[in-house]
Amino acid sequence: MHLREGIQTRVTVRQRYDHLVETKAIARDPAQEPIVAALDHLIDDISQKRLAKKSSALGWLFGKKRERSAPVKGLYIHGDVGRGKTMLMDMFFELVPVKRKRRMHFNDFMADAQDRIQKHRLARKNGETKDDDPIPPVAAALAEEAWVLCFDEFTVTDIADAMILSRLFSALFANGVVLVATSNVAPDDLYRDGLNRGLFLPFVDVLKRHVDVLDLDADKDYRLEKLNRLPVYMSPLGPDADRQMDEAWQAVTAGRPAAPATLSLKGRHITVPLATEDTARFTFADLCEQPHGARDFLAIAARYSTVFIDHVPVLAEGKRNEAKRFILLIDTLYDHQIRLVVSAAAPPQALYTGKRGVEAFEFDRTVSRLMEMQSRDWLDGWTERHGKRASLEVGKTMSV
């Protein structure tokens, strides 16, 4: 428990981290130590803010005026993939003594915010509200629901999101929101080479005023160390890979009838070429060569627990849009813990050959996640979540 003036109050991130080290669940990493300390310091700041709010609320009883407490600065933790950022943030989220808190993928949060903005604009059009600007009421509602926000894999690829981030987060911070985020890139590298990036840059300044930026510069990729690869990634492409994908499909669906399906999404339709109750099969072209976005991939992840993707090509410099969609797709499937079966032209680390733009940074995360999604731990976890046996044999990745 955390000691404050001799009184035991709570478990700390430090104690949780040390326990994992002592039980050999993780190895101690000197690069993670400053992050652990910063997260505990932030919990102290948040706890003091809560006490100050209670004191201020009761101040009228004693005829005293309370000065408004200084805003709490959050944390932005960046570093290469597999260095433990998400693990540490999840410890913080579990232990921070706040009821109104929210932990989610950044793309999910922005999809929710965009939905609320659209609903406000419709209400204004219908005469249900007189507020022309949707940002202040949307930010106030989001802050009321959760004033501690934790975002895993903070990244900006959507121009619609990029254009509203500065105003939206300025309003959130003005409403007392505390942000903790992990990312593969430093704030100054967000939305690099993005369309109209100059309009996005004010957000970077807003962000850096309201968070302390920490670089988790660990030497090891812990995801890669614990991998036990499974036959869910078939490479290279060809008749043998197609046959093995078909065999995997038969094993997963257990002979259940499959047919095309349609998902409805805000007046649009997403075509699923082949599906059973909980399993869907697409080609890369179906998902990444069409104008799909985060909402489409979220709808797929919400509907199916297993997704097959056939014929992922090597993505060169001229395929940046397709690469962006593939990065977003894998992020979404990973964050929603979907079982993934893929046939691809090359191993994950050779799928993207472009050297310029934000995709070169972000595809490193995609590579790491594609590899982790082949691991024994990942599929064992999937099996526990869905209460059924994983139909795919544990072993080596299928290379043909």
C-alpha 70/C-alpha 186 separation (Å) is 25
Sequence spans of domains, the chain: 2-215, 226-386
Instruction: Specify the pLDDT at position 391.
Output: 43
Q: 207-224 pLDDT, tens per residue? A: 999 999 999 886 665 655
Instruction: Kindly give the confidence (pLDDT) of every residue in the chain, 400 residues in length, as a single tens digit, with 9 standing for 90 and above.
Output: 444 444 445 789 999 999 989 988 788 889 999 999 999 999 999 988 877 666 555 444 445 444 456 789 999 999 887 788 888 999 999 999 999 999 988 888 998 999 999 999 998 888 887 878 999 999 999 999 999 999 987 888 788 888 899 999 999 999 999 999 999 889 999 988 788 888 899 999 999 999 999 998 866 656 555 544 447 899 999 999 999 899 888 888 876 778 899 888 777 889 999 998 889 999 999 999 999 999 999 999 989 999 999 999 999 888 889 999 999 999 999 999 999 999 999 999 999 988 777 777 789 899 999 999 988 778 777 777 765 434 444 333 443 3
Topology of domain 2-215, CATH: Rossmann fold (3.40.50)
C-alpha 303/C-alpha 305 separation (Å) is 7
Q: Which residues of 160-174 are buried (b: 16+ CB within 10 A; e: fewer)?
A: ebbebbbbbbbbbbe
Instruction: Specify the pLDDT at position 287.
Output: 96
Phi-psi region of 122 (alpha: psi -120 to 50; beta: other; left: phi over 0): alpha
Instruction: Specify the pLDDT at position 331.
Output: 93
Query: Do residues 111 and 295 make contact, with C-beta atoms less than 8 angstroms apart?
Result: yes
Query: What percentage of residues in the chain have a pLDDT greater than 90?
Result: 49
- Fold match, 2-215 / 226-386: yes
Query: Do residues 337 and 373 make contact, with C-beta atoms less than 8 angstroms apart?
Result: no
Which CATH code, of 3.30.70, 3.30.1450, 1.10.287, 3.40.50, is assigned to 226-386? 3.40.50
> Residue 157 gets which letter from DSSP?
-
